Chains A and B, each alone.
Chain A
Amino acid sequence: MKTISMCVLMCLTAGVVRADWLQFRGPNATAVSTDAKVPADDLKIAWTADLPGRGLSAPIVVGERVFVTCSSGPGQETLHVFCFNAADGSKRWERAMRSTGRTMTHNKTCVAANTPCSDGDRVFALFSSNDLFAFDLDGNLLWLRGLTFDYPNASNSLGMSQSPVVMDGTLVVQSENDSESFVAGLDVATGRNKWKLERPKAANWTSATVWKNTVALQSSKGILAVEPATGKTVWDYSDGASTIPSSVGTGDVLYAASHGITALAPEKGSVTQLWRNEKLNSGTASPLVLGDAIYVVNGAGVLIKANVKNGDEAWKLRMKGPFSGSPVAAGKRIYIVNERGIFQVIDPEAPEGKVLKEIELKETVLTTPAISGGAIYVRSDAKLWKLQ
């Protein structure tokens, strides 16, 4: 009995790790699935669900539920949070709210640009208008915030896209812009501030990296790693970083989107630079680390593979671009969708890299896929697809 219970517990524990894709770029914002079940190479569209509004936010997956946000209306003032059944794409629930902050954005982006995140029990949906909602998995509203209602100059007329992350009971929300720029740690149960820090007064579209019990906040100034519970600085790298692609941390190394890629080995209070390759220059897409290689998509839509130990380039593969979304990976495959909706499966172990398969989604896609349970979820301004 005890053995069975242990097995059940292990399976359940493994189950959480196995299937969930809880934030922008999935587990620890690495963009690499930890799921034992990887998507098969003969991917097809399993189902399609209609969406009523625009969105650059990525889907997230919690168990058998897929969550997506949208914005609709003439000024994008209506904010939607959807929950779909992963199995068949049927809608479990939908909630519609109204923006309390500014909804102006560049035409290419929209108000539903920030990817929601989850701690497994709650879903936190942030929008470019700085409206933030916490729901339980069944759609019960737990709390809400209007961060521009709270802090009236916190907005960016081009739109904001920083995706929140959740760690150890704290939701870390960035609203970094030219004016009232800040990051805050919120209590996941109440939405109240645990802490709030001023951030550089400069527009910033990067998202935090969850890495080694810290939340690494990237900006044009560099990367500041803080304790999620307190906001206290753990280490600070101040040599500048990108304001569009985000960094990735794996093992003991943080691969910073800074001067191309700069590999950092931060310890408490200090940061050691391991290597830097300025040619590994990401366009809009964030890098990912898979095995012993780091992969970067440059502004020309070329996938560059480099050695994770020294940054040396291995090969370049021209893909069908352009890309706004980031690549994700599972098993031995990398997945990415271009702006024209061409979903591409890449074999990174082929000698020069190889595009194995393309699926035409026939819609503009500006976002990053999610991977869970051997399936891949992709969204456009009008549709959510499950590929399996």
Chain B
Amino acid sequence: MKSSLVCLFALAAVSLQAAADLSKPIEVLRAVQKEGQGNEAAGKAWQEIVKADAATLPEVLKGMNGANPLAENWLRTAVGVIADEALKAKKLPVPALVAFLKDTQNSPGARVVAFDLIHRADEKLAEELTPTLLEDPSADLRRHPVAKLIEAGDVALEKKDNAAAIVAYGKGLGGARDEDQIKVLAKKLRGLGQKVDLPKHFGFLMSWKMIAPFSNADRAGFDTVYPPEKELKFDAVYEGKTKEAKWVDFTSTDEYGKIDFNKPFGMEKSVVGYAATDFFSTEDRPAEIRIGCKDGWKVWLNGELLFARDEYHRGAKLDQYKLPCQLKKGKNTILVKCCQNEQTEQWTVEWEFQLRVCDATGTAIVAAK
């Protein structure tokens, strides 16, 4: 009895030691910064962590909470090495990983890793957990239940049970945050006679005040500070490149929220346009402004420049750029500068952008008015 207690005490001491030892190397990995700062120390710390027992996996995963993306990758690869060994030895701490997954305070990236490990260890358990992820803070985790609901809807359709299919697809659309799944679900629901409001689902800002054309000759307009960057006076008239530049009201009818300068101003080349709108937030809160644009562009929120990009006609897509920002309660003014260049090829006609306001999951933030 006495010797057993001694053994238990010794084992506990060893495991406490192991736990205590990992906190330091995890902190070293979390300390890595831009331009390789901290890499030397991180390389050594990583070696320490990967030697740890599989029981430490939740602790290492927890290290990803609030970590920068570089530190996340250091920790993600360390988790991968520990987990590979644990899976071979069938020692993956699945219950602890499930608990980690279920705690939505943990970072989405770490919880995705936890779910993948659960799936590798116990596919059936992962299947059972899948429906619980439909409203998850992680867009990646939402994909699994949405895929299941698409399957369920398809099965119902095969059985000619349209009502059940509509329920499954509708539920799937409610949870879906990725464009590919949303497109599929919208098509299926519309095929069944249901209305789908994609601009509302994505949170596209559809109504803007727009002004153009200022000059972008030699692409110099990108860095030229035109009047709308100094003042938003919607009754003002300015000297433009080919004609007077005046503000006009524009509401997009495109279901992907494209704000097309060519429509109110004609197909101009080497020009700069601006679009402004107000977004009313119900509270002070973090958000993301997500923009897709194949022209040169800049975005300001309440006068603060969020990002500027001088790439032309290399392609555009939904959520091409994600700009983290802070909304204030009440009115928030968003200003977009959209620069068309001199190219004349057919595929360089577009002078447009699409913009939405959402949270980090991609869920549209509903405006107060």
Residues of A within 8 A of B (CB): 73-75, 93-98, 100, 102, 104, 106, 131, 133, 139-146, 149-150, 152-153, 155-158, 177-179, 186, 189-193, 201, 203
Interchain nearest-CB distance for A217 vs B (Å): 21
Q: Using A149-B34, A192-B35 as known contacts, say yes or no to A158 and B81 having CB atoms under 8 A apart.
A: no
Interchain nearest-CB distance for B223 vs A (Å): 13
Q: How far is the CA of A177 from the CA of B317 in the complex (A)?
A: 18
A104 touches B320 (CB 8 A): yes
Q: How far is the CA of A382 from the CA of B80 in the complex (A)?
A: 22
Q: Chain B residues near A190: list those with CB within 8 A.
A: 36, 39-40
Give the residue name and chain of the B residue nearest to A139 (CB): B81
A178 touches B314 (CB 8 A): yes
B314 touches A158 (CB 8 A): yes
Chosen A-B contacts, 27 in total, with CB atoms closer than 8 Å, are A73-B140, A74-B143, A74-B178, A94-B80, A94-B84, A98-B76, A100-B69, A100-B70, A102-B320, A104-B315, A142-B43, A143-B40, A149-B69, A156-B311, A157-B311, A157-B315, A157-B320, A158-B314, A177-B311, A178-B311, A178-B312, A178-B314, A179-B309, A179-B310, A190-B40, A192-B36, A193-B35
Q: Chain B residues near A146: list those with CB within 8 A.
A: 34, 69-70, 73
Q: Chain B residues near A93: list those with CB within 8 A.
A: 84
B76 touches A97 (CB 8 A): yes
Q: Chain A residues near B69: list those with CB within 8 A.
A: 98, 100, 146, 149
B74 touches A141 (CB 8 A): yes
Q: How far is the CA of A102 from the CA of B315 in the complex (A)?
A: 13
Q: Chain A residues near B224: list those with CB within 8 A.
A: none
Given A98-B69, A104-B317, 5 more contacts at CB 8 Å?
Answer: A75-B178, A100-B73, A141-B77, A158-B314, A192-B37
Q: How far is the CA of A179 from the CA of B321 in the complex (A)?
A: 14
Q: How far is the CA of A156 from the CA of B143 in the complex (A)?
A: 27
Residue B47 lies at the interface, judged by CB distance under 8 Å to chain A: yes
Q: Using A98-B69, A158-B314 as known contacts, say yes or no to A140 and B39 having CB atoms under 8 A apart.
A: no
Interchain nearest-CB distance for B338 vs A (Å): 15
B39 touches A191 (CB 8 A): yes
Residue B290 lies at the interface, judged by CB distance under 8 Å to chain A: no
Q: Chain A residues near B321: list those with CB within 8 A.
A: 102
Residue B307 lies at the interface, judged by CB distance under 8 Å to chain A: yes
Q: Chain A residues near B180: list those with CB within 8 A.
A: 74
Q: How far is the CA of A97 from the CA of B315 in the complex (A)?
A: 26
Point out the residue from A100, A140, A158, A186 that lies within 8 Å of B36, measured CB to CB: A186
Q: How far is the CA of A154 from the CA of B292 in the complex (A)?
A: 17
Q: How far is the CA of A97 from the CA of B307 in the complex (A)?
A: 26
Q: How far is the CA of A336 from the CA of B39 in the complex (A)?
A: 39
Q: Using A156-B311, A191-B36 as known contacts, say yes or no to A149 and B70 having CB atoms under 8 A apart.
A: yes
Smallest CB-CB A-B distances: 8 pairs: A157-B314, A143-B39, A100-B69, A192-B36, A191-B36, A157-B315, A178-B311, A97-B73
Residue B25 lies at the interface, judged by CB distance under 8 Å to chain A: no
B311 touches A152 (CB 8 A): no
Q: Chain A residues near B316: list those with CB within 8 A.
A: 157
Point out the residue from A95, A98, A145, A179 that lies within 8 Å of B72, measured CB to CB: A98
Q: Using A100-B70, A190-B36 as known contacts, say yes or no to A158 and B80 having CB atoms under 8 A apart.
A: no
Q: Chain A residues near B76: list those with CB within 8 A.
A: 96-98
Q: Chain B residues near A106: list those with CB within 8 A.
A: 315
Give the residue name and chain of the A residue nearest to B34 (CB): A150
Q: Using A74-B143, A140-B46, A193-B35 as known contacts, say yes or no to A96 and B315 having CB atoms under 8 A apart.
A: no
Q: Chain B residues near A100: list those with CB within 8 A.
A: 69-70, 73
Interchain nearest-CB distance for B75 vs A (Å): 10
B39 touches A144 (CB 8 A): yes
Give the residue name and chain of the A residue nearest to B320 (CB): A104
Q: How far is the CA of A93 from the CA of B77 in the complex (A)?
A: 12
Q: Chain A residues near B74: list those with CB within 8 A.
A: 141, 144
Q: Using A74-B180, A190-B36 as known contacts, say yes or no to A141 and B315 having CB atoms under 8 A apart.
A: no
Q: Using A74-B180, A98-B69 as known contacts, say yes or no to A141 and B36 having CB atoms under 8 A apart.
A: no
Q: Chain B residues near A141: list those with CB within 8 A.
A: 43, 46, 74, 77-78
Give the residue name and chain of the A residue nearest to B78 (CB): A141
Interchain nearest-CB distance for B25 vs A (Å): 13
Residue B30 lies at the interface, judged by CB distance under 8 Å to chain A: no
Interchain nearest-CB distance for B116 vs A (Å): 9
Residue B109 lies at the interface, judged by CB distance under 8 Å to chain A: yes
Q: Chain B residues near A157: list those with CB within 8 A.
A: 294, 311, 314-316, 320
Interchain nearest-CB distance for A44 vs B (Å): 32
Give the interface centre of B37, B73, B109, B140 by most chain A CB atoms within 10 Å. Answer: B73
Interchain nearest-CB distance for B136 vs A (Å): 15
Residue B173 lies at the interface, judged by CB distance under 8 Å to chain A: no
Q: Chain B residues near A97: list those with CB within 8 A.
A: 73, 76-77
Q: How far is the CA of A144 from the CA of B76 in the complex (A)?
A: 12
Interchain nearest-CB distance for A213 vs B (Å): 25
Q: Chain A residues near B77: list those with CB within 8 A.
A: 95-97, 141
Give the residue name and chain of the B residue nearest to A152 (CB): B307
Q: Chain A residues near B314: list those with CB within 8 A.
A: 156-158, 178, 203
Q: Chain B residues near A98: list those with CB within 8 A.
A: 69, 72-73, 76, 109
Point out the residue from B70, B80, B310 that lies within 8 Å of A144, measured CB to CB: B70
Give the residue name and chain of the B residue nearest to A132 (CB): B36
Residue B334 lies at the interface, judged by CB distance under 8 Å to chain A: no
- Give per-residue flags for B108-133: 1 if the beta carbon is below 8 A from chain A beta carbons, else 0: 01000000000000000000000000
Give the residue name and chain of the A residue nearest to B321 (CB): A102
Q: Chain B residues near A192: list those with CB within 8 A.
A: 35-37, 39
Q: Chain A residues near B47: list those with CB within 8 A.
A: 140
B309 touches A153 (CB 8 A): yes
Interface residues of B in 314-330 (CB under 8 A from A): 314-317, 320-321
Residue B189 lies at the interface, judged by CB distance under 8 Å to chain A: no
Point out the residue from B35, B36, B42, B80 that lies within 8 Å of A95, measured CB to CB: B80
Q: Chain B residues near A155: list those with CB within 8 A.
A: 311
Interface residues of B in 288-343 (CB under 8 A from A): 294, 307-312, 314-317, 320-321
Q: How far is the CA of A94 from the CA of B116 in the complex (A)?
A: 15
Point out the residue from B42, B50, B310 that lies within 8 Å of A143, measured CB to CB: B42
Point out the residue from A94, A158, A179 that lies within 8 Å of B315, measured CB to CB: A158
A178 touches B310 (CB 8 A): yes
Interchain nearest-CB distance for B138 vs A (Å): 12
Q: How far is the CA of A29 from the CA of B81 in the complex (A)?
A: 33
